[in-house]
Amino acid sequence: MDITFILNDLNDAQREAVTLEERHALILAGAGSGKTRVLVHRIAWLTEVMKLSPFNILAVTFTNKAAREMRGRMEQLIGHQAQGVTMGTFHGIAYRLLRQHFEAAGLPQSFQILDSDDQKRLIKRLLKAMELDETQWPVKQVQAYINGEKEEGRRPHHIDPGHNPFVKKMLQIYQAYEQQCQKAGLVDFAELLLRAHELWLKRPEVLSFYQARYKHILVDEFQDTNSLQYAWLRVLAGGTGKLFVVGDDDQSIYGWRGAKIENIRLFEQEFADVKTVRLEQNYRSSGRILKAANHIIAFNTERMGKELWSAGEDGDPIRIYEAFNEYDEANYVISQAKAWVEQGGERSDVAILYRSNAQSRVFEQALIQAEMPYRIYGGLRFYDRAEVKDVLAYLRLLVNRDDDASFERVYNQPTRGLGEKTMQTVRDLARDLGLSLWDAAKVQLESGLTARAKGALSGFLDLIEQLQIDTQGKNLQDQVMMVISRSGLQTHFEKDRSEQGQARVENLDELINAASGFDKAPPAEENPNPDDLDAAISDNPLLNFLAQATLEAGDNQAEAWESAIQLMTLHSAKGLEFPLVFMVGLEEGLFPSKPSFDDPFRLEEERRLAYVGITRAEQKLVMTYALRRRLHGTEIYSGPSRFLKELPEDCLDWVRMTGQVQSAREWASPTSQKSQHNEAGFAMGQRVFHQKFGEGTVLATEGSGDHARIQVNFKHAGSKWLVKAYANLEAV
């Protein structure tokens, strides 16, 4: 049998991983080492060489985008065989499991997924019903507590509050939240996995079926799993399933949202007969960039060990730019990006990475002044946009009247005269009688409402009832079109003639397109296996469309952009790569952040974040820091980040704000830098006045005497280079 198509183009380590015998495997895949290729070719090896049925393979990813990419590559490699593999995110697969076994899981057949925003609204309403002050019990804090407990597998009855009044009150809220979700048939993201995990523990016959089915379980980004995801995998694998997990402990950067780095570190101890393979050959970055990455991550003491290398060239040195302040930093970065484009590079090849979202403002301002198109990666995704969520809420009410979150969102959207006073009476009645808002509204119609309020409330309820009747038997596209039109949303947004209003109308059109594409998906096989998860979601297109919309909105990854400079946080950059990367704001207290100074665990995660940032760069890497920066309304003088000091000397090119090369480890003093005048007669940071441009701050100078050029950042005019003899600058 010819298997060269599976093994061709694999290096020795990749080939070892792909061809492993049936056993548990831990693939430590360094940045840019081809982990997706290994996963895809491993599946091909299982089906083509080991003759395993695709029906017996489960592949788990963290994003829908990653799942689609893997599916596409598999289809190219093994054709129709790829269709039999169950593939998806943790949440997506758990949803399909619960949809298939809703009764055993204790859920109504029409249960709906509660996204993060709707979860906040539900909590907000509960806090109000419990007469709790949101200033003392912030919605986000309550939400984080509930989700955190679920991700640890804990229901309210598992938690002992002891004598802690805070925990006691949180437990009361958690209990009320669970009761409301159960009554309304709502399942949040954390609940998907917890409910699926509990289903297996409570119904061993269901678990046995899936353990027998999924003989090989492949997991991507294993270092990002939380406690519940790890437990879910362990139960499913049982004593017979073989886990093939791929991850990198050096890229574990999501501890703040529940990821447990110990999952990958303890894998070899907790599973018998584990084979560990290290993928260390990098196909992305130049030699100097990889040397810097290896050097900095070596300062972390708790590592499994791995050394990236490349068969390519060493490439350019890493440039370190010392800026006077954040404006000088931004101007330098944009000037270098502009030079890249002028030399034939694409704008989309350039990424500016920062530790905090707040840092983007100055770069945006500089890009606007330079007239360079830019996009902020991770902005509002399609299914997160308000007008799209409005339509989805109407659609959810068509299939589940007890969905209080959707009721709250659209009862007065667009405005139909339903005031807050009327709705509060409905909420109070719902709370007192234990009803959904829908049922409480029907009861309220029979009691003391004004004629106007009664007409508005009755009109809304009648609208939903009539929409359900009129959409019966329609295809999904027609259902969505009818809801958009009959709800009044189309007319409402068309009244807004601004660009934003037009963009909202275009988003409604795109939602119809999405429904049309969903309608045209290949039909499920006739008489499917009743326990087949892929068949479990084939019977109701509208339910499936709503679930898919929520799951897509839960993704952290965005789609590709048109050519533009890309701005993003370091966390958002994980998994991406760019020919030219700027890592900015490398100062003590900013990156690493102050809270990590006294916490070794957090400091190591910050260093892993720096490692992730460095390994995003393919050809060129520029790292910057500012001697002074305005944070929280105050001028801060911070030293360069310790991460800069941890880089290897022979890979670096230090540049000061005057454009001169700085010797390695020549750390300038902010106070002396501020006070020293240069040959042009002005000090860096000096406040000056210009007759035309007004007040500004000196950023840099070139030359001496009357022909010297001075760079000034003006408050209203932006950055300008001026000749001293003609500028007539006055010191302020």
Distance CA 159, CA 181 (A): 19
Beta bridge partners of 593: 589, 590
Please, how many CA atoms are within 13 Å of residue 52, restricted to the half-sphere of its CB? 24
Beta bridge partners of 480: none
Chain position carrying tokens 């209203």: 716
DSSP 125-138: HHHHHTT--TTTS-
Amino acid at 166: F
Beta bridge partners of 318: 652
Mapped onto helix, strand or coil, the DSSP state of residue 8 is coil
DSSP 625-661: EESSEEETTEEE--PBPHHHHTS-GGGEEEE-TTS-E
Burial class (CB in 10 A: 0-12, 13-18, 19+), 15: middle
Work out whether the CA dihedral 212, 213, 216, 218 comes out positive or negative: negative
Chain position carrying tokens 């709707």: 118
User: In whole angstroms, how far apart are CA 69 and each of 258, 345, 378, 513, 616?
Assistant: 25, 26, 19, 22, 19
SS (H, E, C) 335-401: HHHHHHHHCCCCHHHEEEEECCHHHHHHHHHHHHHCCCCEEECCCCCHHHCHHHHHHHHHHHHHHCC
Amino acid at 201: L
Number of Cβ within a 10 Å radius of residue 136: 9
Burial class (CB in 10 A: 0-12, 13-18, 19+), 330: buried
Number of Cβ within a 10 Å radius of residue 173: 19
Q: What is the CA radius of gyration of the chain?
A: 29
Work out whether the CA dihedral 133, 135, 136, 138 comes out positive or negative: positive
Distance CA 527, CA 297 (A): 54
> What angle is formed at CA 265 by the lines to CA 259 and CA 268, rounded to 5 degrees?
130
Q: What are the start-end ranges of the H helices in 49-187? A: 64-78, 90-100, 116-129, 139-151, 165-184
Please, how many CA atoms are within 13 Å of residue 225, restricted to the half-sphere of its CB? 28
Q: Would you say 324 and 686 are in contact if contact means Cβ atoms under 8 Å apart? A: no
Distance CA 371, CA 619 (A): 25
Distance CA 10, CA 38 (A): 8
> What angle is formed at CA 147 by the lines to CA 143 and CA 150, rounded to 5 degrees?
145
Catalytic residue ranges: 35-36, 220-221, 251, 616
Mapped onto helix, strand or coil, the DSSP state of residue 583 is strand
Q: Would you say 519 and 475 are in contact if contact means Cβ atoms under 8 Å apart? A: yes
Angle between helices 499-519 and 476-486 (to 10 degrees): 150
> What angle is formed at CA 267 by the lines to CA 263 and CA 270, rounded to 5 degrees?
110
Q: Would you say 374 and 564 are in contact if contact means Cβ atoms under 8 Å apart? A: yes
